[in-house]
Amino acid sequence: MVAAPPPSPLVGVAPLPLDWARSTNLPRPPIATTAANACPPLHQRRLQRGCRGRWSRVRVERGKFKELGFSDSRLFMGHCYPFCPQPDLTIGIRSHSDYALMAVLLQNQVPGLQIKHGDGWVDVKPLRGGLIINIGDSLQIISNDEYKSVEHRVLANSSKEPRISTVEFFHADNRNGSACYGPLLELLSPEKPAIYRNFTMKEFLEIFYTKGVHSKSLVKELKL
């Protein structure tokens, strides 16, 4: 017997490979006020403090990402990784980095997520109720490599219980506009010039749809 992908179609935002997973997306998730009502105030404050501490490394004024439109559009995706009888012959979702500014991931207790570290892969142990914040390609580019997007993958599921994860992507939605994005000017200097070229969101998404979900192809494509 040879492992074959599960029968249901894989629905996504770009040409996705036939990995051992079922995915669907919700391009217009619930509005922020609805989500805030579902999140206890204490957890909101903890998440806000954690994000502020991490963003402080990027020396830009508060509200800059909102000004650039990176909070204007969100995409919510759900992934199901059913039992695979021969997990050594396939992969859940192959190695890639997220195109967005950042992604917020919630997973159940079934392991499988790995992040790339050096030339190897490290397991991300599920933590009940814990959120995983992934840096995306957009943030790597506009921060001029102050932040690096996280290359990750999901192994095929050898557990009888399905692996379930949900992820929300935060990205700009200016695909029809002429606004240009690129490394933030306030982060550039003679000692640290721009590493990436400027681009429009339309061009960015065209590259994404052409290259699909594969490694860090977006970052490589926009490098000077």
With a cut of 70, say whether residue 210 has pLDDT above it.
yes
Instruction: Give the Å distances, CA to CA, from 42 to 38, 46, 168.
Output: 12, 6, 21
Q: First and final CA of the chain: distance in angstroms?
A: 47
- What would the mean pLDDT of 79-100 be, rounded to a whole number? 90
Domains along the chain? Answer: 22-222 (2.60.120.330)
Q: How far apart are CA 44 and CA 40, in angstroms?
A: 6
pLDDT higher at 25 or 176: 25
- Average pLDDT over the chain reads 78
Average pLDDT score over residue span 158-187: 84
Q: Which phi-psi region, left, alpha or beta, contains residue 44 (left: φ > 0; alpha: ψ -120 to 50)?
A: alpha
Query: Alpha helix locations (H) across the chain?
Result: 32-38, 41-55, 64-67, 137-142, 201-211, 217-222
Least confident piece of the model among 39-48, 127-136, 172-181, 208-217: 39-48
pLDDT value of position 208: 78
Nearest to 21 by CA among 188, 153, 202: 153
> What is the rounded distance in angstroms from the CA atom of residue 99 to the CA atom of residue 75?
11
